[in-house]
């Protein structure tokens, strides 16, 4: 089969590799769509260092079952499915607490986090355990369901962890693909004001189209002052979905008493300074969110089935697998949202 194999930093090669073979509890999936995550681009460019070469990236897939293992009864060849990137054992302490993304023997297909990394979905086929596979609702598009995992991550961070509720005001710092999904979720959840903050005018225009009530560009004006002009009483929730340390600093600067903040976008090891005493007296509740759980995946599918959020609306560019190098170039550009690989 054809796959995009990362042999070293900057060395992404299209080549023929053996098709995967399903183990007893595994499923092989023919890829129909796979989103490019910023962590994939960071691995290609060397900004993410926890990569063992050679690697096949790609952890936002959906496709058609092409083979099942001897113990698999839930799916059969030809079934249309959604795949979560991470797998779990189901029996460790964390799994039994419902914290499957903490699993002590977790693996990931083409992703980041666990040490056990399986070949991902920038290929014609990939395999995973059956516990990571979900039926695809027939009325949803491949492009939409391929983004089930990032939508699940945004739901988990904003709704499950930071507990955004109807009428509350939220600021989303960084409206790339994850930030845009957070904006859409906030709008669907009945947020009062949804303020998008980004240095890209293209991203802010997309956020306005997808549910943001206000936008702020820190290059044009002081971001904190602008947010407090919009929200004189300050935000209820601030979600950092950007990544740079400056975005995290802004998250802390936007707090008032009782503000809940969520550290979502920064995935590299950076040192951030904040005032401990101020945090104490403001009673800041800080969350962070990585990965997804079966609950988050099911909620993400439900949001799509009910017509509340269509994550495919965040897609700005589409490429064939053979054009993945052009896709990675586009990932480095300013005027793009979600980039999708359609093998």
Quick check: 164 and 170 in contact, CB under 8 A?
A: yes
- Model's pTM, two decimal places? 0.95
> What per-residue confidence (pLDDT) applies to 88?
95
User: What pLDDT does residue 322 have?
Assistant: 98
- The Cα–Cα gap between 333 and 339 comes to 11
> For residue 68, what pLDDT is reported?
98
Map out the domains of the chain with their CATH numbers. 2-136+310-341 (3.90.180.10), 154-288 (3.40.50.720)
Closest residue by Cα to residue 241 from 296, 193, 186, 191: 186
Name the DSSP letter for residue 35. Answer: E
**pLDDT, block means (10 residues), the chain with 343 residues:** 98 98 98 96 91 96 98 98 95 96 95 93 98 97 98 98 98 96 98 98 98 98 98 98 94 97 88 91 94 96 98 98 98 94 94
Reading the block at residue 339, the tokens are 């980039």
Q: Up-side HSE of residue 236: CA atoms within 13 Å toward CB?
A: 16
């Amino acid at each position: 089969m054809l796959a995009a194999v990362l042999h070293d930093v900057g060395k992404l090669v299209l080549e023929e590799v053996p098709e995967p073979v399903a183990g007893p509890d595994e499923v092989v999936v023919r890829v129909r769509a796979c989103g490019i995550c910023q962590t994939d681009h960071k691995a290609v460019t060397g900004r993410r260092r926890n990569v063992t070469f050679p690697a096949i990236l790609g952890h936002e897939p959906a496709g058609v079952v092409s083979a099942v293992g001897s113990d698999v009864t839930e799916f059969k060849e030809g079934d249309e499915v959604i795949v979560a990137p991470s797998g779990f054992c189901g029996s460790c302490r964390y799994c039994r607490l419902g914290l499957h993304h903490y699993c002590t023997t977790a693996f990931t297909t083409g992703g980041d986090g666990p040490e056990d990394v399986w070949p991902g979905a920038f290929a014609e086929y990939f395999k995973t355990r059956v516990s990571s596979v979900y039926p695809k609702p027939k009325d949803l598009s491949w492009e939409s369901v391929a983004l089930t995992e990032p939508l699940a991550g945004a739901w988990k961070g904003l709704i499950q962890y930071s507990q955004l509720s109807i009428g509350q005001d939220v600021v989303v710092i960084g409206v790339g693909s994850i930030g845009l999904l957070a904006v859409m979720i906030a709008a669907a959840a009945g947020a009062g004001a949804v303020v998008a903050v980004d240095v890209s005018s293209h991203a802010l225009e997309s956020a306005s189209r997808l549910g943001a009530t206000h936008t702020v560009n820190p290059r044009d004006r002081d971001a904190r002052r602008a947010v407090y002009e919009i929200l004189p009483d300050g935000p209820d929730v601030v979600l950092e979905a950007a990544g740079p340390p400056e975005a995290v600093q802004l998250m802390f600067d936007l707090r008032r008493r009782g503000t809940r903040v969520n550290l979502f976008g920064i995935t590299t090891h950076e040192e951030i300074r904040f005032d401990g005493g101020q945090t104490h007296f403001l009673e800041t509740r800080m969350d962070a969110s990585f990965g997804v759980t079966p609950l988050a995946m099911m909620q993400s599918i439900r949001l799509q089935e009910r017509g509340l959020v269509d994550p495919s609306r965040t897609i700005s560019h589409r490429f064939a697998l053979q054009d993945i190098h052009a896709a990675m170039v586009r990932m480095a550009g300013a005027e793009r949202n979600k980039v999708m690989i359609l093998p």
